[in-house]
Amino acid sequence: MSWQSAVACWLLRRQFRPETLKPHVSVERARAHAASRLRRQSVPRGWRLTVRGRPGDAPLRGEWLERPGDLARGAPMRTILYCHGGGYYFCSPASHRALVFALAARSGARTFSLDYRLAPEHPFPAALDDALAAYRRLLADGTAAESIVIAGDSAGGGLALAALVALRDAGDPLPAAGVLFSPWTDLAATGGTIESNDGVDPMFCGAAIGRAAQFYVGRADPTHPYLSPLYADFSGLPPLFIQASSTEVLLDDARRAAERARAAGVSVECEIWPKMPHVWQLWTPFVPEAGRALERAAHFVRAHALERVVHPVEVDSMAR
């Protein structure tokens, strides 16, 4: 554990964990906190960031990070559809740019970071509907399924996994792989580490998980496989890459998902990193373990997604 990671854990214990200890989860405070933590993030050299969509165009809202030179010369490339974390009720593509930019730069993949609708204004299945619509729009625009990776962190990791399950059930062409950082896969909050890692996790108290889940669950069954993909049939899913921390309360959400996937014959790489904060990949470049974790994820993307030619009109059409 680096000193930088120790500092990140200390900051989270002082600034974020006290909020999760409160008996009620405040959507307003969470959104205000996320907005106050936004910092200017430099776009990687040679890349271009473009915000797409308008208010009300929920399935099409998001941010493209792409290399204009590759598009101009018709170079083959990979595509990542990214779903940000934030409990389904706060955060945005802007709050997760550090992670997304670093993953794109390391993998060389153009990335669409989805701005899906948030709960409680838009409970389940709104976020899933938006993720499915964005993926299908990529296919309709000519992006090859075998060149796409669906990725996400925390709630976004659970959303990415739920999207894979829903796409398989609907008979859609499946993407090449899924990448999940500290995924929230069980909104019924039954994981043993919710209790065993309570007090050890620098970011969350265990009781906050079930309370936060209610914003997105609404009146639905929290064990619905499209809501909590841990309860899904994993057979036929593409290869999965999962990273989680040994001390986070959501460890069992990642660990049990990996076990169920393996039991169903799915290829899975599941890495448990010691004593890291929840979604420590967000702390790049300050925390060295974040960079190393993202490099491993990028290697997985390069190993599983095939490069295919993308025409500029395909990117632009996501805005229409």
Catalytic residue selected from 63, 66, 248, 289:
248
Cα-only R_g, the chain = 18
Question: What's the pLDDT at 15?
Answer: 87
Q: Is 278 a catalytic residue?
A: yes
> What is the domain range of residue 208?
3-319
Give the DSSP letter of residue 307. P
pLDDT for residue 196: 97
Average pLDDT, the chain: 93
Q: What is the pLDDT of residues 133-176, one digit of tens each?
A: 999 999 998 999 999 999 999 999 999 999 999 999 999 999 99
> How confident is residue 236, by pLDDT bands cut at 50, 70 and 90?
very high
At residue 86, φ and ψ (nearest 5 deg) are 125, 30
pTM for the predicted model, two decimal places: 0.94
- The 3-state DSSP class for residue 182 equals coil
Higher pLDDT, 14 or 243: 243
Q: Does residue 24 have an active-site annotation?
A: no
| Whether the predicted pLDDT of 54 surpasses 80 | no
Strands 268-273 and 79-83: unpaired
If pLDDT is split at 50, 70 and 90, which confidence band does 224 have? Answer: very high
Q: How many domains does the chain have?
A: 1
Which of these is catalytic: 92, 107, 147, 154? 154
Set 84, 96, 122, 278: catalytic member: 278
Instruction: Give residue 314's pLDDT band: very low, low, confident or very high (50, 70, 90).
Output: very low
Which of these, 142, 53, 138, 137, lies nearest to 93 by C-alpha position?
53
Active-site residue, 63 included:
no
Q: What pLDDT is attached to residue 320?
A: 40
Averaged pLDDT, 287-314: 89
* Residue 130 clears pLDDT 90, i.e. is over it: yes
| Predicted local distance difference test score (pLDDT) of residue 38 | 83
Report pLDDT digits (tens) over 262-297.
999 999 999 999 999 999 999 999 999 999 999 999
Task: Tell me the CATH number at 48.
Answer: 3.40.50.1820
Structure tokens at 114: 């989805």
